[in-house]
């Protein structure tokens, strides 16, 4: 099924919106349920395909799962570690977070290499490095990830600030008795969520939110209920959407501490916002904002988030002057700029990681595609402030990361239509199958 958005731009967004739970936090929190024998309950879980995929993987391993009205229940009494085939993990890069929990609980984990968005080379070396430093034996091949062995507490020095490798290390250490020290740990909000969760389950954790984390693990952990934190990336999306449409939006369940660098950048650009800490509400006033060019470099938390760089590029098309973007993390992240050029953006690519964006530009309607989750979000924002009707293809990427995005935008007054078109290959397959059934019936 080909899913598209048809968006008529030029409508200021106005009203209130509540941010959904974070997918990037929900996936490792679901994986952490593997560390216990019993029922784990997670609330505020976003309704996304990736969530359903990881639950299917747990079902395959023998868990009993349910997902109703934002609440996920996972019962792991009969869970076992067995080879996870490509059909389960090839579409979900996030399935890599099962490595640590499965290894820690069962002493063995085997799976095909995970897939997901194409953002340049994203190796698994940091994960293997973390777990082998705890005593695991790496038996992986070119086709299969395979680690086994009884883990022992110790020191992990990660080769990079990898979010998911940090999560794997934290979860594995939580179920490994003794003190494990993790150096160069990532500190993003979703990593912190995992740290708070394993702490609630019974492990002792020091250095939450820092790059040196100490975990005193236990031989058994307790099943708990935990609320998935709000998605700071979705929150950033709505901040930008309000600015470029000259709208006025109140964003609820907004975690200010998760977006300090981002909000500082918005303020430096001339964006007007006001935060109510008591209510956790951010008011963004695009009507009063006067955007000017700036320079942005992505960085590890609490620096500017790489996942907000693509939407930020759209803001820069509406700012006066020459802006410069420097994407440190992924060489494939800048591809969305070519789609923006189709809409009339003035872009000069300097190299795979840097570009100049000259504004302001009146974006025009076009047919553009979603190269990945965040690039798709950028195309939606561009369409919202463009003249005319823009069609965005490959929306399946967008809907992997944003919970009911089209509905939320419509609630703010946006003109967004979701279109589902059957894939020609699927249609041909259905016709062929029907013809075969008819032929077989005639013969009988």
Query: What is the strand order of the sheet 346-349 is part of?
Result: 295-297, 321-326, 354-359, 346-349
- As a whole-number percent, the residues of the chain with pLDDT over 90 amount to 84
**Residue 122's pLDDT band (boundaries 50, 70, 90)?**
very low
Lowest mean pLDDT among 6-20, 54-68, 86-100: 86-100
- Residue 192: in which H helix or E strand, if any? helix 189-201
Distance CA 96, CA 111 (A): 9
Per-residue DSSP letters for 261-295?
A: HHHHHHHHTT-EEEEETTTTEEEEETTT---B--E
Is it the case that residue 117 has pLDDT exceeding 70?
Answer: no
Distance CA 295, CA 268 (A): 10
Pairing status of strand 281-285 against strand 321-326 = unpaired
Is it the case that residue 439 has pLDDT exceeding 80?
Answer: no
Cβ atoms of residues 160 and 184 within 8 Å:
yes
Is it the case that residue 31 has pLDDT exceeding 80?
Answer: yes
List Cβ neighbours of 49 (8 Å cut-off, separation of 6 or more): 396, 399, 400
Lowest mean pLDDT among 10-24, 139-153, 263-277, 412-426: 412-426
Cβ atoms of residues 103 and 131 within 8 Å:
yes
Cβ atoms of residues 239 and 284 within 8 Å:
yes
224 three-state secondary structure: coil
- Least Cα distance to 100 among 188, 185, 225 occurs for 185
**Residue 120's pLDDT band (boundaries 50, 70, 90)?**
very low
Q: Could you count the other beta carbons within 10 Å of the beta carbon of residue 12?
A: 18
Distance CA 185, CA 172 (A): 14
**pLDDT of res. 440:** 63
**Which DSSP state fits 415?**
E
Distance CA 181, CA 77 (A): 30
| Average pLDDT for 252-264 | 97
**Residue 118's pLDDT band (boundaries 50, 70, 90)?**
very low
- As a whole-number percent, the residues of the chain with pLDDT over 70 amount to 93
| Average pLDDT for 42-46 | 98
C-alpha distances in angstroms, 290 versus 187, 189, 238, 253, 259? Answer: 33, 30, 17, 26, 21
- 2-20+232-424 fold: UDP-n-acetylglucosamine1-carboxyvinyl-transferase; Chain (3.65.10)
Q: Is the peptide bond before 42 cis (omega within 30 degrees of 0)?
A: no
Is it the case that residue 266 has pLDDT exceeding 90?
Answer: yes
**Residue 410's pLDDT band (boundaries 50, 70, 90)?**
very high
CATH superfamily of 23-227: Enolpyruvate transferase domain (3.65.10.10)
Cβ atoms of residues 2 and 369 within 8 Å:
no
**Residue 280's pLDDT band (boundaries 50, 70, 90)?**
very high
Q: Could you give the residue numbers annotated as active site? A: 117
Is it the case that residue 154 has pLDDT exceeding 60?
Answer: yes
Residues 165-204 have pLDDT tens digits of: 999 999 999 999 999 999 999 999 999 999 999 999 999 9
Distance CA 196, CA 30 (A): 14
Query: Who has greater pLDDT, 368 or 444?
Result: 368
Residue carrying structure tokens 């794997």: 168
Cβ atoms of residues 99 and 127 within 8 Å:
yes
**pLDDT of res. 371:** 83
Q: DSSP alpha helices (H): ranges in 90-156? A: 99-106, 125-132
Rounded to 10 degrees, what is the CA torsion of 195, 198, 204, 209? 0
Is it the case that residue 304 has pLDDT exceeding 50?
Answer: yes
Is it the case that residue 438 has pLDDT exceeding 70?
Answer: no
Residue intervals in the chain for CATH 3.65.10.10: 2-20+232-424, 23-227
Dmax over CA atoms of the chain, in Å, equals: 76
**Residue 431's pLDDT band (boundaries 50, 70, 90)?**
low
**pLDDT of res. 329:** 80
**Residue 427's pLDDT band (boundaries 50, 70, 90)?**
low
SS (H, E, C) 295-346: EEEECCCCCECHHHHHHHHHHHHCCEEEEEEECCCCCCHHHHHHHHHHCCCE
Residues 225-246 have pLDDT tens digits of: 999 999 999 999 999 999 999 9
Lowest mean pLDDT among 139-143, 267-271, 414-418, 430-434: 430-434
**What burial letters (b/e) apply to 93-126, b meaning 16+ CB within 10 Å?**
bbbbbbbbbbbbbeebbbbbbbebbebeebebeb
Distance CA 99, CA 111 (A): 9
| Average pLDDT for 208-232 | 97
Distance CA 124, CA 431 (A): 42
Residues 378-396 have pLDDT tens digits of: 999 999 999 999 999 989 8
φ/ψ of 39, rounded to 5, equals -110, 125
Residues 62-103 have pLDDT tens digits of: 999 999 999 999 999 999 999 999 998 987 888 999 999 999
| Average pLDDT for 137-162 | 95
> Which tokens go with 77?
């009494």
**pLDDT of res. 116:** 42
Q: How close are the terminal C-alpha atoms of the chain, in Å? A: 34
Distance CA 268, CA 192 (A): 28
Read off the pTM: 0.91
Cβ atoms of residues 322 and 361 within 8 Å:
no
């Amino acid at each position: 099924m080909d899913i598209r958005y048809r968006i008529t731009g030029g409508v200021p967004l106005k009203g209130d919106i509540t941010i959904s739970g974070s997918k990037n936090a929900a996936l490792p929190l679901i994986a952490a349920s593997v560390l216990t024998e019993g029922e784990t309950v997670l609330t505020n879980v976003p309704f996304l395909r990736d969530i359903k995929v990881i639950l299917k993987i747990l079902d395959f391993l023998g868990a009993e799962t349910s997902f109703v009205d934002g609440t996920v229940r996972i019962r792991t009494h009969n869970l076992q570690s067995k080879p996870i085939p490509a059909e389960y993990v090839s579409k979900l890069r996030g399935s890599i977070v099962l490595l640590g929990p499965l290894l820690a609980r069962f002493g063995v984990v085997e799976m095909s290499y995970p897939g997901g968005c194409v953002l340049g080379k994203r190796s698994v070396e940091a994960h293997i490095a973390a777990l082998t430093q705890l005593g695991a034996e790496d038996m992986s091949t070119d086709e299969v990830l395979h680690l086994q062995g009884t883990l022992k507490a110790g020191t992990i020095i990660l080769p990079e600030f990898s979010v998911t490798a940090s999560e794997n290390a934290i979860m594995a250490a939580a179920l490994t008795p003794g003190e494990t020290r993790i150096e160069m740990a990532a500190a993003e909000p979703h990593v912190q969520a995992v740290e708070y969760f394993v702490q609630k389950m019974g492990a002792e954790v020091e250095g939450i939110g820092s790059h040196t984390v100490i975990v005193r693990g236990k031989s058994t952990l307790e099943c708990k209920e935990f609320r998935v934190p709000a998605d700071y990336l979705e929150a950033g999306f709505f901040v930008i959407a309000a600015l470029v449409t000259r709208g006025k939006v109140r964003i609820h369940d907004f975690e200010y501490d998760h977006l300090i660098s981002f909000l500082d950048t918005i303020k430096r650009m001339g964006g007007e916002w006001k935060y109510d800490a008591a209510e956790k509400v951010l008011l963004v006033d695009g009507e009063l904002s006067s955007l000017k060019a700036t320079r942005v470099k992505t960085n590890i938390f609490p620096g500017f988030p790489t996942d907000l760089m693509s939407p930020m590029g759209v803001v820069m098309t509406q700012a006066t002057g020459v802006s410069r973007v420097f994407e440190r993390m992924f060489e494939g992240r800048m591809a969305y700029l070519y789609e923006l050029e189709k809409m009339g953006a003035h872009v000069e690519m300097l190299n795979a990681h840097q570009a100049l964006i000259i504004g302001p530009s009146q974006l025009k309607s076009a047919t553009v595609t979603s190269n990945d989750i965040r690039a798709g979000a950028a195309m939606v924002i561009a369409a919202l402030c463009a003249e005319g009707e823009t069609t965005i293809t490959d929306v399946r990427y967008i809907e992997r990361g944003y919970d009911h995005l089209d509905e939320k935008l419509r609630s703010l007054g946006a003109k967004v239509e979701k279109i589902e078109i059957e894939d020609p290959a699927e249609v041909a397959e259905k016709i062929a199958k029907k013809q075969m059934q008819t032929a077989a019936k005639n013969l009988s």
